[in-house]
Amino acid sequence: METVRNTPPTAIPNFCQRTRREYQLKSHLIIACICAGLVLVSCNLKAPDSPSTFRATEFGVSFEMPAGWKMQKVPGLSAPIAHGEARDGFAVNINVVAEPFAGSVADYADGNTKALERGGHKILDRASLTTSAGAPVVRIIGESEQGGRKLRQVFFLLDGRKGNKLVMVCTALAADGTTHDSEFEAAFKTLRVEK
């Protein structure tokens, strides 16, 4: 993939650019989904009593975690995750990933939506939103099966720093339905991106 990123766009035929770009989008987002889906935290974890701030300095991102959540470093991910109390061997969680992408948030969301569908996600909803500062955001809600569990994921896609796009991946058990959506929305509303 490095050769694609370092190859000038004029040197790659348009057909190849789209295929490689979709492959990159698909691979990054699927890795994030799998990591989020496989965050199986032991049931005896005790979360802190007070809310705290999640920081992913690698991406210049911070947000207020829901009450009782904590941060944890997960092998294979560049940034820590935020997670709640474990139940039935699974902890509801939020992780943030960044990816270089020069296009618009809408174009990035289009590629990711297609990649999610090809990866087996059922897209339940997609909406264009804006941050309090007026920056574009796309929210995608989907369900998939990962690690033998049916999961519900809410993705917030937006501009990051240094030409990156950010994806805030919020994951819960599908059986919980929309139970955690308000926590995910509240965390997203406090998201700060350093430019």
Q: Among candidates 95, 7, 21, which has minimal Cα distance to 59?
A: 95
Give strand ranges (E) for the chain.
Answer: 53-56, 61-64, 70-72, 81-87, 90-100, 122-130, 136-146, 149-159, 164-173, 192-193
Q: Average pLDDT in the 2-8 region? A: 33
Contact 64, 53 (CB under 8 A): yes
Q: How far apart, in Å, are the Cα atoms of 97 and each of 11, 88, 118?
A: 28, 26, 20
Q: How far apart, in Å, are the Cα atoms of 47 and each of 80, 84, 154, 187?
A: 15, 7, 22, 17
The encoded tokens of residue 20 equal: 């490689």
130 φ, ψ to 5°?
-135, 155
Per-residue pLDDT tens digits for 127-136: 999 887 888 9
CA 18/CA 173 separation, integer angstroms:
33
Across-strand partners of 99?
165
Q: Whole-prediction pTM value?
A: 0.76
**Of the CATH numbers 3.40.50.620, 3.30.420.40, 3.40.1000.10, 3.40.640.10, which one belongs to the domain with range 2-193?**
3.40.1000.10
Please tell me the least confidently modeled range out of 22-36, 44-58, 82-96, 158-172. 22-36
Per-residue pLDDT tens digits for 45-99: 444 433 589 988 888 899 999 999 999 998 988 889 999 999 888 999 999 999 9
Per-residue pLDDT tens digits for 93-133: 999 999 999 999 999 999 999 999 999 999 999 999 988 78
Q: Where are the domains of the chain?
A: 2-193
With a CB cutoff of 8 Å and minimum separation 6, the contacts of 138 are 105, 106, 108, 109, 126, 127, 128, 129, 156, 157, 158
The encoded tokens of residue 142 equal: 């989907």
